[in-house]
Structure 1
Amino acid sequence: MKHFIFDCDDVLLDWVGGFRDFLVEIGHTPAEPRPRDWSMAEWIGIEDAATFRLIEIFNSSPAFGQLKPYDDALEMVRQLKDEGHTLTVLTSCSDDPSIVNRRVQNLRDCFGDAFPRVICLPLGQSKSQWLEVLRPGIWIEDNYKNALCGERAGHKTFILRRPHNRKHEIDGVDDVVTWVGTLAEVI
């Protein structure tokens, strides 16, 4: 059996979609449906500090605990669980207990008891130390920097193509991590 380690936001759950809905509700309608870069400030049209604060407010809101799962994530997680693999979530959403509880409950609501271990780090914190602890495994991420941390820790690393990370994929070839369009390509 293998150990699959998943990032959560925009791998298992549609964080950008939930955040976009939140922004529209408070009067900050982004120019495009999805950001084309990690800079949410550019997407929203406000400064970095104000953007980070909006992310903190969203992650503290009830809407953060009601994110929708990606369809391919539902299928893959169900299959991996049925096959008896170990599944872990490693996310940098917050370590505040109320936010962690929302994250864990949201994952349970979507995926049942598939994830016996959900590790929540402070917002934006590097996952490198935990990736060392959790090795060896199969690491699935959407953040290129965190994907590289997984590769350095010895994991087989996959990065999901999303509009915000495409600039890191050079001509569809990467000697370090494996780029995939869907989670089905991982197994």
Structure 2
Amino acid sequence: MKHFIFDCDDVLLDWTGGFRDFLVSIGHTPTEPRPGDWSMGQWIGIDEAACFRLIETFNSSPAFGQLKPYDDALAMVNQLKDEGHTLTVLTSCSDDPDIVNRRAKNLHDCFGDAFPRLICLPLGQSKSQWLEVLRPGIWIEDNYKNALIGQTAGHKTFILRRAHNRKHEIEGVDDFVIWIDTLAEVL
């Protein structure tokens, strides 16, 4: 059996979609349906410090605990669970107990008891130490920097193509991570 380690936001759960809905509800209409870069401030049209505060506010809200799963994530997680693989979630959403509880409940509501281990780090904190502890495994991420950290730690690393990470992909040149369109490609 193998150990699969998943980032959560925009891999398992549609964080960007939930955040976009939150922004619209408070009067900020993003320029595009999805950000074309990691700069959420640019997407919303505000400075990065104000954007970070909005992300913290969203992650502290009930809406953060009601994110929708990606369909391919549901199918893959169910298959891996049925096959008896070990599944872990490693996310940098917050280490605040209320936020961690919302994240755990959201994952359970979507995926049942598929994830016996949920590791929640402070917002934006590097995952490098945990990726060292959890090795070797199969690491699935949407953040190119975190994908490279996982590869350096010895994981077989996949990165999901999302609008915000496409500028990092250089067709046919990246030998460090495996770019995928859907989680089914991992299988």
1:1-187 to 2 correspondences below 5 Å: 1-187=1-187
Task: Give the drift of 1:172.
Answer: 4.8
Deviations 1:40-73 (A, max 9, x none): 0100000000000000000000000000000000
d(CA) in 2 for partners of 1:104 and 1:172?
Answer: 37
Q: Give the Cα separation in 1 of the matches to 2:141 and 2:100.
A: 19
Shift of 1:171: 2.3
> Which TM-score applies when normalising by structure 1?
0.99
CA distance in structure 2 between the aligned counterparts of 1:146 and 1:106, rounded to whole angstroms = 23
What is the aligned residue count? 187
Aligned partner letter, 1:79: Q
Please state whether the residue corresponding to 1:4 is helix, strand or coil. Answer: strand
1:105 match: secondary structure: helix
Gaps of 5+ in 2: none
TM-score (ref. length: structure 2):
0.99
Distance 1:152 1:127 in 2: 12
In 1, distance between residues paired with 2:127 and 2:163? 22
Structure 1 unaligned spans of 5+: none
AA matched with 1:29: T
**Aligned structure 1 segments of 4 or more residues deviating by more than 2 angstroms:** none
Secondary structure class of the residue paired with 1:135: coil
* 1:105-128 deviation digits (Å, cap 9, x = unpaired): 000000000000000000000000
One-letter amino acid of the counterpart of residue 48, structure 1: E
Give RMSD over aligned pairs: 0.5
Write the letter of the residue equivalent to 1:63: A
Q: 1:128 is aligned with what amino acid?
A: S
Give the 3-state SS of the residue equivalent to 1:69 in structure 2. Answer: coil
Q: Which letter maps to 1:42?
A: Q
SS in 1 for 2:12: coil
Q: Matched residue of 1:51: which SS?
A: helix
Displacement after TM superposition at 1:174 (Å): 1.2
2:77 partner amino acid: V
Q: SS of the residue aligned with 1:125?
A: coil
